[in-house]
Amino acid sequence: MTPLNMPEWQSLVRHYSDLKYLSMREQFVLDSDRAEHFSLKSGDLFLDYSKNRVTKETMEKLLSLAKAVELPNWIERMFTGQEINNTEGRAVLHIALRNRSNTPIMVDGKDVMLDVNRVLAQMKDFSDKVHSGEWLGFSGKKIVDIVNIGIGGSDLGPAMICDALEPYGIEGINVHFVSNVDGTDLSTTLEKLNPETTLFVVASKTFTTQETLTNAQSARTWFLKAGQQHDVAKHFVAVSTNAKAVSEFGIDTNNMFEIWDWVGGRYSLWSAIGLPIALYVGFDNFARLLDGGHEMDNHFRTQPLEQNMPVIMGLLGVWYINFFGTQTHAIVPYDHSLSRFPSHMQQLDMESNGKVTNRQGQRLSYKTGPVIWGTPGTNGQHAYFQLIHQGTQLIPVDFVLPVNSHYPEYDHQSILLANGLAQSEALMKGKTAEEVRAELVSEGFEGKELEALLPHKVFPGNRPSNTLIFPKLTPELLGQLVALYEHKVFVQGTVWNINSFDQWGVELGKQLAKAILPDLQSNDEISVHDSSTTHLIKMIRALRN
């Protein structure tokens, strides 16, 4: 099935042709209540999508497309544990990890909530022991540093959450994240730590991930310079399903926190992969994060499509990617605590929807996922915003703005918010040649000097953006925000008829790396590669010697 052949898609093709030059500035003049007509709320999260190149008719047609691809049915299939990850024969149940209502979710005749609640109780018990001092290091000292060793979803999600919730951190507990197999990452982390007071969380579902196990083995070597082999169990815990490999490493399997195959890595921060979050901010705050995710889940599952925040954001993305031909999407949080938020969303979106075949294995003839990028607010204004404002590419932007700061003693928040709001307004309005001319005249420019400068100061405007506003970045709000983007990605994958929950694209590089590694570690005859790779291996050998 291809959406291109649907009448609803073809209707959007014709509609785009009619309004591709629609002026948002004019639309705001024609409709003084436009902001009210194109906005909605979920809990404490408010979305203003009025600064998009859409009309009421556009949204009706996009919603008709969502119904045509049976989006409500796909949502229900996910929430009821059906195998919507068809290439791996799995359910997709990150929503179960934050199912605070405890409504049974059945997979193969078993309620998965029994296992979810068991692991949550284990996480609470363990984090409480660390905080109370019941769990001590081998020399009897309290744990003060948590080092998470993982990669991909076992790193980015928890790291982003810990950064964002820094104001909620438990006093006396520090958290560190090591993911890169480059020894610099581990070395620069360990050089600041004391092995007697450090706890390592090794996060690998299979306990075979090369980068993670390499870092974990090196961390154990570092630890054993101070402790004994039997002390490893007091300083290393695991998030995995491979009890045998965990035990062989020296970790007590009683301190192995289970994760299931229906949890994708980029959706796993809600699971035991979130153990460093619970250790850093306390289990109660981790539970509040789950509460927020569950609130967004209920909104996504129960609200009609036209009042459904993930649906609206997902359909707007389809509108720009498939009809305007955009290739990238910027996410710009005006909150320094959310510095890693764009990176997490990058993995979430691009690993989920970076696909070239549909669910049936047929090659696609239309675009799917965009390149996701961004950085915190005002920093970006002094870097890439030039391209967004006056470049030749159309780049939709999400502005993410908390109204209140956790650090009100410095009166910066109004300046921060003014900048965020001004950027979205400037992208929409732009600045016409007439406005620039009047401005230059008022500044004393005239004649050839004025005419030469004028075109450089014109802003085309009509550049789309969404604005997300919320009172304060709390654990609940952060849970809502992350779940919002997770569901947005699912909406787009459903429209494109792709499986958003596998990631075969990451496998090939791993396979080839295993073949290249022996060639780098010895001077034996090089195995068969292309001429470029062979030449590079020889050069590396020569430089190393």
- Shortest CA distance to 179 belongs to which of 67, 45, 316, 343? 343
Distances (CA, A) of 531 to 333, 514, 536, 537: 44, 18, 9, 10
The reply to whether 170 falls in a domain is yes
CATH number where 36 lies: 3.40.50.10490
What is d(CA 516, CA 525) in angstroms, rounded to the nearest whole number? Answer: 12
Kindly indicate the confidence band of residue 408, based on its pLDDT and cuts at 50, 70 and 90.
Answer: confident
User: What pLDDT, on a 0 to 100 scale, did the predictor assign at position 67?
Assistant: 98
Kindly indicate the confidence band of residue 505, based on its pLDDT and cuts at 50, 70 and 90.
Answer: confident
Question: In the chain, what percentage of residues exceed pLDDT 70?
Answer: 100
Which strands make up the sheet holding 198-203, listed edge to edge? 174-178, 145-149, 198-203, 236-239, 256-257
- In this structure, the answer to whether residues 316 and 269 fall within a common structural domain is no
The reply to whether 381 falls in a domain is yes
Is pLDDT of 410 > 90? Answer: no
By annotation, the residues acting in catalysis are 351, 382, 510
Only one residue has tokens 């049974």, namely: 104
Mean pLDDT of the chain: 96
SS3 per residue for 228-263? CHHHHHHHEEEECCCHHHHHHHCCCHHHEECCCCCC
User: What pLDDT, on a 0 to 100 scale, did the predictor assign at position 409?
Assistant: 82
Distances (CA, A) of 203 to 246, 254, 450: 11, 15, 62
Kindly indicate the confidence band of residue 469, based on its pLDDT and cuts at 50, 70 and 90.
Answer: very high
- In this structure, the answer to whether residues 279 and 312 fall within a common structural domain is no
What is d(CA 534, CA 539) in angstroms, rounded to the nearest whole number? Answer: 9
- The answer to whether the CB of 494 falls within 8 A of the CB of 82 is no
SS3 per residue for 181-195? CCHHHHHHHHCCCCH
Q: Residue 103: what residue type?
A: T
The reply to whether 89 falls in a domain is no
The reply to whether 246 falls in a domain is yes
What is d(CA 475, CA 165) in angstroms, rounded to the nearest whole number? Answer: 7
The reply to whether 292 falls in a domain is no
Residue range 87-135, pLDDT digits in tens = 999 999 999 999 999 999 999 899 999 999 999 999 999 999 999 999 9
The C-alpha angle 72, 37, 50, rounded to 5 degrees, equals: 90
User: What pLDDT, on a 0 to 100 scale, did the predictor assign at position 506?
Assistant: 83
- In this structure, the answer to whether residues 248 and 372 fall within a common structural domain is no
User: What pLDDT, on a 0 to 100 scale, did the predictor assign at position 510?
Assistant: 84
Q: Distance between terminal CA atoms of the chain?
A: 56
Residue range 182-239, pLDDT digits in tens = 999 999 999 999 999 999 999 999 998 899 999 999 999 999 999 999 999 999 999 9
Residue range 3-31, pLDDT digits in tens = 999 999 999 999 999 999 999 999 999 99
What is d(CA 472, CA 406) in angstroms, rounded to the nearest whole number? Answer: 8
- In this structure, the answer to whether residues 120 and 12 fall within a common structural domain is no
- In this structure, the answer to whether residues 258 and 204 fall within a common structural domain is yes
User: What pLDDT, on a 0 to 100 scale, did the predictor assign at position 511?
Assistant: 87
The reply to whether 498 falls in a domain is yes
The reply to whether 414 falls in a domain is yes
User: What pLDDT, on a 0 to 100 scale, did the predictor assign at position 64?
Assistant: 98
DSSP code string of 36-73: HHTEEEETTEEEE--SSS--HHHHHHHHHHHHHTTHHH
Dihedral sign for Cα atoms in the order 405, 407, 410, 416: negative
What is d(CA 259, CA 205) in angstroms, rounded to the nearest whole number? Answer: 7
Q: Is 399 helix (H, G, I), strand (E, B) or coil?
A: strand
Only one residue has tokens 């090089």, namely: 526
For the chain, the C-alpha Rg in angstroms (whole number) is: 26
Q: What number of CA atoms fall less than 13 Å from residue 162's CA on the CB side? A: 25
- In this structure, the answer to whether residues 254 and 367 fall within a common structural domain is no
User: What pLDDT, on a 0 to 100 scale, did the predictor assign at position 439?
Assistant: 96
The reply to whether 134 falls in a domain is yes
- The answer to whether the CB of 336 falls within 8 A of the CB of 378 is no
- In this structure, the answer to whether residues 313 and 357 fall within a common structural domain is yes
- In this structure, the answer to whether residues 14 and 147 fall within a common structural domain is no
- In this structure, the answer to whether residues 198 and 280 fall within a common structural domain is yes
Residue range 28-38, pLDDT digits in tens = 999 999 999 99
- Shortest CA distance to 61 belongs to which of 106, 15, 100, 98? 15
- Shortest CA distance to 122 belongs to which of 340, 281, 278? 278
Kindly indicate the confidence band of residue 509, based on its pLDDT and cuts at 50, 70 and 90.
Answer: confident
Domain enclosing residue 327, as ranges: 3-68+303-429+463-502
- In this structure, the answer to whether residues 281 and 312 fall within a common structural domain is no
Residue range 276-326, pLDDT digits in tens = 999 999 999 999 999 999 999 999 999 999 999 999 999 999 999 999 999
| Beta strand pairing call for 236-239 and 174-178 | unpaired
- In this structure, the answer to whether residues 44 and 123 fall within a common structural domain is no
Question: What domain count does the chain have?
Answer: 3
Is pLDDT of 545 > 80? Answer: no
- In this structure, the answer to whether residues 142 and 175 fall within a common structural domain is yes
